[in-house]
A and B are shown apart, each in its own frame.
Chain A
Amino acid sequence: MRDIDLSGRVALVTGAARGIGEATARRLIEAGCTVVLNARTLNDEAQAVFADLDALRPGSTTIIDGSVAEPAVVATIARTIFAKYKRLDILVNNAGIQRDNYIGMIPDAEIEAVMVNNVFSVIRLTQALSRLMKRNGAGSIVNVASILARTGNPGQFVYSASKAAVIGATMASAKELGPSGIRVNAVAPGLIATRMTEAMTDADRRRWESQIPLGRVGSPAEVADVIAFLASDLSRYVTGQVIGIDGGLVI
């Protein structure tokens, strides 16, 4: 089997300071990619993670901090990538937030925050950066959705809706950008060991785990492997797809 070679490619990974974003950035750097790393806040923890990532291949990363929920940050990202690299080959829309609350108890501000962070950011980044991809007549966009977009879950009304919107955005952009040589796919991680799943109650965690045919929680690296595949030419005839990475939770 061929390994994934992304030498010479430039990627942006949002929410790259931890979890799936960090693992994806690591996987892409190891595959030879130059990676623009984004984190909402460049705190000590994020700086340490980014230093580790750059040490994998010194000089292979650029850091742009700021929330991609902010249009001005998206514009800065686009300008910086254009000025520094003049190209973008891979966009991984990973940044997102999770706020759980039961129906009837969800403040408006929470609805807005989840939708802006999880959906608007994907739309804005796709809109801004697909233009850069079009110049080369090629590109791969991978959106990180969630198994909850397909199954839903009590207490995750807004989060599930936001990830379903990401899948809708994936389908529409795949159709529109395909003629320009840009592929758009989504991954739908199931129960993955990240800080976001640590916020689950023990009862919820046990209930989910008991339903996983492969019998275990997944790792961020296992999601990153699929994202790297979708980013690479190995998936050159794949677009508009949602790949479940869930140990068989949804079959």
Chain B
Amino acid sequence: MELQQRVEKAFTDALDLPADVDWATLEYRQYETWSSLGHMTLVAALEEEFDAMMEADDILEMSSFNKAVEIMRKYDA
């Protein structure tokens, strides 16, 4: 699976997003489920998907789907 698809999977699993979500514009807090609590659920899903432990700075900087894809590149072993 491509990296972007793996990130999409984690987002879908964690945030219960609508089927027609626009990944390119998706940002933190755009949907109710991507709250600060949802963000930690998302981090857990990404860590599970990539079998990694994310750095605190990356967690705080992950403000959009595109940013998440960029960040997860470094965890894509």
A positions within 8 Å CB-CB of B:
71, 75, 78-79, 82, 124, 127-128, 131-132, 134-135
Contact residues of B: prevailing secondary structure: helix
Q: How far is the CA of A131 from the CA of B44 in the complex (A)?
A: 7
Q: How far is the CA of A127 from the CA of B53 in the complex (A)?
A: 12
Q: How far is the CA of A234 from the CA of B48 in the complex (A)?
A: 30
Interface size in chain B (residues, C-beta < 8 A)? 9
Asked if B47 and A131 make an inter-chain contact with CB atoms under 8 angstroms apart, the answer reads: yes
Asked if B53 and A132 make an inter-chain contact with CB atoms under 8 angstroms apart, the answer reads: yes
Q: How far is the CA of A132 from the CA of B56 in the complex (A)?
A: 13
Contacting residues, chain B, for A82 (C-beta < 8 A) = 52-53
B positions within 8 Å CB-CB of A:
40, 43-44, 47-48, 52-53, 55-56
Contacting residues, chain B, for A78 (C-beta < 8 A) = 53
Q: How far is the CA of A79 from the CA of B58 in the complex (A)?
A: 14
Partner of B56, one of A75, A134, A135: A75
Q: How far is the CA of A71 from the CA of B57 in the complex (A)?
A: 11
With A71-B56, A131-B44, A135-B47 already in contact, 17 other A-B pairs whose C-beta atoms are closer than 8 Å:
A75-B55, A75-B56, A78-B53, A79-B53, A82-B52, A82-B53, A124-B56, A127-B56, A128-B56, A131-B40, A131-B43, A131-B47, A131-B53, A132-B53, A134-B44, A135-B44, A135-B48
Contacting residues, chain B, for A75 (C-beta < 8 A) = 55-56
Q: How far is the CA of A82 from the CA of B55 in the complex (A)?
A: 12
